[in-house]
Amino acid sequence: MKRAAQPGPDKSGAGRFRLRSFRLRITLMSTATALAAILILFVAASTTIVARRAQILDHILSAHLSGPGFGVATPALWPAIDAHLNASFSAFAPQGSQGGYAILRASRADGSLVYRSTSWPAALDTAALPRGPGLHTVADGALEWRLGQVRHGDMTVWVGVNRSLSNAQLRVTLWRFGAAAGVLGALIALLAWYLSARAMRPVEHLTGVMLGLNASDLDQRVAADEEDVEFAQLVTVFNAMLDRLQRSFLQAIRFSGDAAHELKTPLTILQGQLEHAFTHAAKPEQEEALIEMLEEVRRLDSIVRKLLMLSRADAGQLQVPLSPFDLRPVLDELAEDIELLDPGRAVRLDLPPLLMVKGDTDLLRQVLQNLVSNAVKYGLPGGWIALSARQHGGQWQIDVSNASSGIAAEHRERLFDRFYRADHAHNRRIPGVGLGLSLAREIARAHGGELLLVEAAQECTCFRLCLPAGL
């Protein structure tokens, strides 16, 4: 699983945490910015709303106090005035509140009570009431009242409004606003995640092209004019890099192909002349020297031919006519060759009577010949060699195995590299140049198949040639 975050390089000595996902960083940064903006807006809006609301309450309360009604009220009118007061403040309480929005009290200078609301709190007796002009805030337990007074003759009238109810309504509003901000934040995060994915698309496209690149398909390019201007330069640089890579790759292929081609003719001439000299050699010492020279020339010739074929494969020119034929006789011939060359070897065959594949007989013989000659060269002396084949999902799996002392893990991946030979090949001075397996793999791939090392344990080495079934 990919890790999204890991501690960044610690230059200061203190362990710092760094998010490694660019997309996650963009999402978090844009969401944090949006949430900070919402928070500032929320604080500014709520402070203004709270202050403005207090002003409005005070304004209505002052308007009631300065009205003409109290001075001319008859005893029968006071309950109506009380109800009217409550109604005027009911809009400032949370929905479903049951009265108690405002309170009213009127008393004469001699202390006689003219009127008192039923909800008038006992704690606010006349002694506890603030006397000065203007409006006052008085706390009564959990409740908070805003109170003002007005005089009409010897009568003092007190009007109060329940600020706790107004504050509760304000809190409900602000909670809703906060919840809406949370939902908005989540939506912004989703949007930022989506937009960052869209922003990454050109990079993903470029990565896809890079992943699809291989040596035989270097002529892919990304159309710069289809990308956004911000990425067009990156695409142009990438295309230019591909141009240079392709040029130098083609140069290298052409060079090895041309060199091999140029060497082929002189080698053939040299081989012919050496054979001619051998047939006319006067002394046995001359014959021996000529045989050694002929062997070296043949070795060189085989290297040149392999290099020529590999350069054709690199240039994508190793195209084989895929005509169906039976591979079984080729495998039988190779088994006979082993028995002739090394009679001490036990050869085990597990082959179907008909092994139909599509391709070129000579090229596939070359692949199998290299596998078999490797099994003879690198297998345990006096050990067994096995050739087996089975069909699996429309493919033939042809295994060439031998008794072995194993191939060290560090060599296994590199056996298919050109000119690579494991230590034992060098140490035991076994003839070969290390081109056989790389060429065999190219030929297998040109047939739509594959060549794999499937077993390299202590007792057995097994190479598998996979080929599409011919019928």
**Contact positions toward ligand ATP, by CB under 6 A?**
370, 374-375, 378-379, 402, 404, 407, 415, 421-422, 425, 432-437, 461
Decide: 339 and 345 in contact? Cβ < 8 Å.
Answer: yes
Among ligand ATP, Mg ion, none, the one that 338 touches (CB under a kind-dependent 5 to 8 A) is none
Question: How far is CA 337 from its chain centroid?
Answer: 53
In angstroms, the Cα distances linking 186 to 28, 30, 32, 192, 222 are: 11, 11, 11, 10, 36
How far apart are CB 440 and Mg ion at their closest, in Å?
8
Q: What are phi and psi of 332, to 5 degrees?
A: -60, -45
Q: Cα(413)–Cα(432) distance, rounded to whole angstroms?
A: 19
Which CB sits closer to ligand ATP, 173 or 369?
369
Taking contact as CB under 5 A, which single stretch among the options 9-17, 80-88, 247-255, 365-373 is the one that binds Mg ion?
365-373
How far apart are CB 397 and ligand ATP at their closest, in Å?
17
Taking contact as CB under 5 A, which single stretch among the options 4-12, 36-44, 133-141, 436-444 is the one that binds Mg ion?
436-444
Which CB sits closer to ligand ATP, 205 or 411?
411
What would the two tokens of residue 212 be?
A: 């699809």
Buried b (16+ CB within 10 A) or exposed e, 25-63: ebbeebbeebbeebeeebeeeeeeeeeebbeebeebbee
Which CB sits closer to Mg ion, 53 or 424?
424
Residues pairing with 450 in the sheet: 466
How far apart are CB 317 and Mg ion at their closest, in Å?
23
Q: Cα(371)–Cα(453) distance, rounded to whole angstroms?
A: 11
Which CB sits closer to Mg ion, 202 or 436?
436
Among ligand ATP, Mg ion, none, the one that 441 touches (CB under a kind-dependent 5 to 8 A) is none
How far apart are CB 437 and ligand ATP at their closest, in Å?
3
Residue with the shortest CB distance to ligand ATP: 436
How far apart are CB 415 and ligand ATP at their closest, in Å?
4
How far apart are CB 436 and ligand ATP at their closest, in Å?
2
How far apart are CB 443 and ligand ATP at their closest, in Å?
12
Q: Does 402 bind Mg ion (CB under 5 A)?
A: no
Which CB sits closer to Mg ion, 163 or 306?
306
Which CB sits closer to Mg ion, 242 or 465?
465
Q: Which residues contact 356 (CB under 8 A, 6 or more apart)?
A: 324, 325, 326, 327, 469, 470, 471
Which CB sits closer to ligand ATP, 149 or 404?
404
Total Cβ atoms within 10 A of residue 440: 23
Among Mg ion, ligand ATP, none, the one that 422 touches (CB under a kind-dependent 5 to 8 A) is ligand ATP
How far apart are CB 364 and ligand ATP at their closest, in Å?
16
What would the two tokens of residue 68 be?
A: 């003409």
In angstroms, the Cα distances linking 108 to 73, 150, 167 are: 14, 12, 33
Q: In 3D, which of 114, 182, 172, 103 has the Cα closest to residue 143?
A: 103
Residue type, 342: D
How far apart are CB 376 and ligand ATP at their closest, in Å?
9
Exposed/middle/buried for 307, CB within 10 Å: 0-12, 13-18, 19+?
Answer: buried
Q: Cα(32)–Cα(24) distance, rounded to whole angstroms?
A: 12
Residue of 31, 166, 370, 404 interacting with Mg ion (CB under 5 A) = 370
Number of residues that bind Mg ion (CB under 5 A): 3
Question: How far is CA 166 from its chain centroid?
Answer: 53
Among ligand ATP, Mg ion, none, the one that 425 touches (CB under a kind-dependent 5 to 8 A) is ligand ATP
Among ligand ATP, Mg ion, none, the one that 407 touches (CB under a kind-dependent 5 to 8 A) is ligand ATP
Secondary structure (DSSP) of 241-304: HHHHHHHHHHHHHHHHHHHHHHHHHHHHHHHHHHHHHHHT--SHHHHHHHHHHHHHHHHHHHHH
Which CB sits closer to Mg ion, 170 or 375?
375
What would the two tokens of residue 196 be?
A: 């960052």
How far apart are CB 192 and ligand ATP at their closest, in Å?
54
Taking contact as CB under 5 A, which single stretch among the options 92-100, 105-113, 116-124, 366-374 is the one that binds Mg ion?
366-374
Which CB sits closer to ligand ATP, 135 or 462?
462
Decide: 378 and 403 in contact? Cβ < 8 Å.
Answer: no
Which CB sits closer to ligand ATP, 102 or 400?
400
Which CB sits closer to ligand ATP, 294 or 453?
453
How far apart are CB 11 and ligand ATP at their closest, in Å?
46
Q: In 3D, which of 62, 56, 84, 85 has the Cα closest to residue 169?
A: 56
Residue of 31, 86, 166, 374 interacting with Mg ion (CB under 5 A) = 374
Which residues of the shown chain bind Mg ion in the complex (CB under 5 A)? 370, 374, 436
